[in-house]
Chains A and B, each alone.
Chain A
Amino acid sequence: MLLYIHIPFCDSKCSYCSFNSYVDKFHLKKTYMKALYTQLEHELARYEVQGKVIESVFIGGGTPSTVSAELYAPIFELITPFFKDNIEVTSEVNPNSGTIEWMRGLFNLGVNRLSFGVQSFNNEKLKKLARAHNSDQAKSAITNAKKVGFKNISLDIIYATAFESKALLEEDLKIAFTLPINHLSAYALTIEANTAFEHTPEVALEKLERTQWFLQAIKDHGFEQYEISNFGTYKSKHNLGYWEYKDYIGAGAGAVGFLKDTRYYPLTDIEQYIKTPLSINEETLSAEEILSEKIFLGFRSLIGVDKKILSAYQIQRAEILLEEEKLTFLEGKYYNPDYLLSDELALFLDT
């Protein structure tokens, strides 16, 4: 079982971002964390959590580093008893608010992995993305994390934008690899509704060869690609858990939970959530939808797709892909050797 906690506060809104977060609701932090506590209590009971069953926790956002360690303390008190011994506990951090004190505070509560929203080490590009930090802040925050005692550190890079040259990406990677990280997420800029970029879709600019080169360069550093966007000498248990279709609790405004065959959606509006943290929308997935998700998640990552779950027709299609060397087959599972094609492969099985 996994646990996701959503923190819907940000210092400012980045141009590309459609995640559920507010820049003008900081006064609600305390009551929000209380509501979060209420929902968590409820979820632990609903998921029948007993004993040490939680394999990983991920605190995401929004910006988790906008909320002080003290406010997290009660929550950790509530959930820590259910942690497995080798649990992974990750928090996202923004370089501008990820101070040494904050990081130490979370480290002491039991967080053992940090994921930095760096996006780039180029100040011009950071400005275009409307990030609240600069390159130096990012470098020192990550160096500090190591000092505080974190061994598992990751950073996010956004690529495929109109704000970069090959040299810029080369430089970003060079700097990233001088820092004490063992994981890197590389996301291609995606234009989302209700963002500053919504009406300038041309800022998302992808050149296939560039992408192939970039992803290869990360791998060449010895970071294994274990999903289309994720690389490392360490693989995040939380990520793998999603793709392996494990159950997860989703707590907070804009979080998503999953149990057996149903997704749970707490309210996204922060005030509404605070009022009724237990009013949660449900979406029950059909067998067909579950199968479709298992297929695309399996092809996006090293998880692969179990032959046993496929229909006769899908197997027939998969065998064509095998013959064409677009898939490999090992011990009952199909694996995708080129994650860039993963959606097309998933579609191919059904057409």
Chain B
Amino acid sequence: MKNIRNFSIIAHIDHGKSTLADRIIQECGSVTDREMGTQMMDTMDIEQERGITIKAQSVRLNYVKDGKPYILNLIDTPGHVDFSYEVSKSLASSDGALLIVDAAQGVEAQTIANVYMALDNNLEILPVINKIDLPAAEPERVAEEIETSIGIDATDALLVSAKSGIGIKDLLDAIVDRVPEPSGDPDKTTKAIIYDSWFDAYLGAVALVRVFDGEIKKGQAIQLMSNKEVHNVLELMYPHPLKRHNTPSIQSGEIGIVVLGVKEVGIVNVGDTMTDAKEPCAESIGDYEPAKPFVFAGMYPIDTDKFEDLREALDKLRLNDSSLSYEPETSLALGFGFRVGFLGMLHMEVVKERLEREFNLDLIATAPSVVYNVYLNDGTLVEVQNPSELPEVNHIERIEEPYVKATVITPSEYLGNVMNLLVAKRGIQQKMDYLNEERVLLEYEVPMNEIVVGFYDTLKSISKGYASFDYDPTEFKIGDLVKLDVLVAGDVVDALSTVVPRTSSEQRGRALVKDMKEIIPRQLFEVAVQAAIGSRVIARETIKSMGKNVTAKCYGGDITRKRKLLEKQKAGKKRMKSIGKVNLPQEAFMSVLKMD
């Protein structure tokens, strides 16, 4: 155990986490130059495209320092706040963390959020200033920022360039010297934490674990503490992006992959503790809580016949993403679909994209909503995940909405813009710190409703891309909220309802119907689009009827040609959703997203 080092890498997006991980793997000689394709550690297509890590990856490496062999276990963490539960479990499996900060960019919002989590887990933090090869690199200034913003000593920060390989050897030596050796008692009964799990087509549910006490042996009967499920260990492996090694056991302090042959979903869960079935340990490691979705959206197949296909696709996705939750839902406007819960906006986008890309489905996603705690006059609490299900106003005693702690770091020249934005989003300032003369750290309490859609893009655009943002859900607070309905041709389209603050409801209603007018193409009849609160119409636009759609050309007997032209148009219409007599394009459902 003395020769093992378990460490994670934490960083703001684009500061070089993946590049550095690849460089470390290479330095340890675990992968040849030729095998070194584009970024080893991000394996899903979408991960590579978006440059984010969704599933935690791990690799076991061999390293020699001063003639002594060491095992370095690199535990990669998901790179996005949506997956912070998984991040926290990855960190719980580590003993130290490399804090990567871009030498030209400095500390960003995500850096800070990650550090707090690492500190919560009592990890030894090694500040690493990356990209020192850049002409714009300012390592001293960045070191200072680390000290002022996070309060950790950055005098021995490691200066590296993951790209050109500068300082990598020193970094590895520092990992050996400064990351504590694993704690845990090899003589006690088995105790391990599951920090990632996924579904393998051949092996079934697979768990990536860190063993604290005892060992896990092939053939051993183990128990999953949250659900008391008992299973035999079929196989054990050490993780590696290219070549996994089988092993008869995983020892105290080690990480490894455990194959249990479980074919059902929802049994092997991230955060759960694995112990010996015959001699279980007394307490689990930390609290196991299933990942809780924060954002909900309706997902409907455009082609109403595809409901079962959508169910199957969701079932399949859930095999690899236990945080995905969904239940069937019916919309008057959209028919049969699912209300799907997500960990955050990115999670939602990734899921929608995978459903469309990997399962070939055309979907309408309704505007995402947070969960509202609605207290009725008779004292009952209703959790509303779908704005159209908000109870009648006269039954409601109060509505509570979820808040987040939003962390923003911005160059001081955009401070005014950023503060105005946060205020417009009903934010309340908690903290404002100058990291240095040029950069300011802000912490605000903001209703989550205000940041689920468009906030990040707006923040980026008002700060020329320089401000960074992260958030952390906090608590529910009372809010003066109303349901804003949209009526198309006189009928409420349930999928377009949103919950908004009363004070800005009229302005939002007007903006929304204006947008809808641009998006909805002319129809055979005049169509009225209205925004209403309860029975009160607050805004109205009219879409004029169309004058012409016909090809007035001579076809003679070549009627097939004419039919094919019409079929093309029909295919275009199929991508719209017909609601009563009106065809609504998909963008209409997203237009509620763009309200500012």
Contacts and interface: CB of A to CB of B under 8 A. Distances in A.
A107 interface: no
Residue from the set B551, B570, B580 with the largest chain A CB neighbour count within 10 Å: B551
B566 A258 contact: no
A142 to B, nearest CB: 19
B548 A300 contact: no
Contact of A187 (B552, B567, B570): B552
A324 B557 CA distance: 32
Given A242-B559, A250-B557, A324-B524, A339 B581 contact: no
Contact of A212 (B547, B556, B581): B547
Nearest to B567: A292
A256 to B, nearest CB: 4
Contacts, number: 100
A342 B550 contact: yes
Interface in A137-159: 156
B578 A208 contact: no
B581 A324 contact: yes
B552 A248 contact: no
Contacts of B169: none
A21 interface: no
A343 B566 contact: yes
A256 B553 contact: no
A339 B563 contact: no
B550 A228 contact: yes
Given A293-B563, A347-B566, A351-B574, A4 B524 contact: no
A255 B557 CA distance: 8
B520 to A, nearest CB: 14
Contacts of B556: 4, 58, 60, 242, 256
Contacts of A257: 557
A253 interface: no
Contacts of B557: 4, 242, 248, 250, 255-258
A185 interface: yes
B305 interface: no
A240 B494 CA distance: 46
B490 to A, nearest CB: 13
Nearest to B572: A347
B245 interface: no
Interface string B535-568: 0000000000011111111101111101100110
B381 interface: no
A250 B558 CA distance: 10
B553 A187 contact: yes
A188 B570 CA distance: 22
A345 B574 CA distance: 15
A283 B558 CA distance: 12
Contact of B548 (A4, A263, A340): A340
A211 interface: yes
Contact of B576 (A185, A292, A351): A351
Nearest to A258: B557
B573 interface: yes
Interface string B262-304: 0000000000000000000000000000000000000000000
A83 B563 CA distance: 30
Contacts of B549: 340-344, 347
A341 B576 contact: no
B525 A188 contact: no
Contact of A344 (B546, B562, B576, B580): B546
A144 B234 CA distance: 97
A326 interface: yes
B220 interface: no
B553 A340 contact: no
A351 B524 CA distance: 13
Nearest to B560: A263
Contacts of A58: 556
A134 interface: no
Contacts of B320: none
A321 B581 CA distance: 9
Contacts of A293: 559, 562-563
Residue from the set A4, A229, A320, A344 with the largest chain B CB neighbour count within 10 Å: A344
A283 B560 CA distance: 9
B566 A346 contact: yes
B84 interface: no
Interface string A281-320: 0010100010011001100100000000000000000001
B583 interface: yes
Residue from the set A257, A292, A347 with the largest chain B CB neighbour count within 10 Å: A347
B521 to A, nearest CB: 11
A136 interface: no
A127 to B, nearest CB: 22
A186 interface: yes
A47 interface: no
Nearest to A344: B549
Given A4-B557, A248-B557, A296 B524 contact: no
A292 B550 contact: no
B569 to A, nearest CB: 6
A250 B570 CA distance: 29
A186 B554 CA distance: 9
Given A4-B557, A300-B550, 9 more contacts: A187-B554, A190-B551, A208-B547, A208-B548, A258-B557, A340-B549, A341-B524, A343-B549, A347-B566
27 contacts: A4-B557, A188-B552, A206-B548, A242-B556, A242-B559, A256-B558, A256-B559, A257-B557, A258-B559, A263-B559, A285-B560, A292-B563, A292-B566, A292-B567, A297-B559, A320-B580, A340-B549, A341-B524, A341-B546, A341-B550, A342-B549, A343-B549, A347-B569, A347-B573, A348-B524, A351-B573, A351-B583
Interface of B: 524-525, 546-554, 556-560, 562-563, 566-567, 569-570, 573-574, 576, 578, 580-581, 583
Sorted from nearest, which 4 A-B pairs have the closest CB atoms?
A344-B549, A256-B557, A188-B552, A340-B548
Interface of A: 4, 58, 60, 156, 185-188, 190, 206, 208, 211-212, 228-229, 242, 248, 250, 255-258, 263, 283, 285, 289, 292-293, 296-297, 300, 320-321, 324, 326, 339-348, 350-351
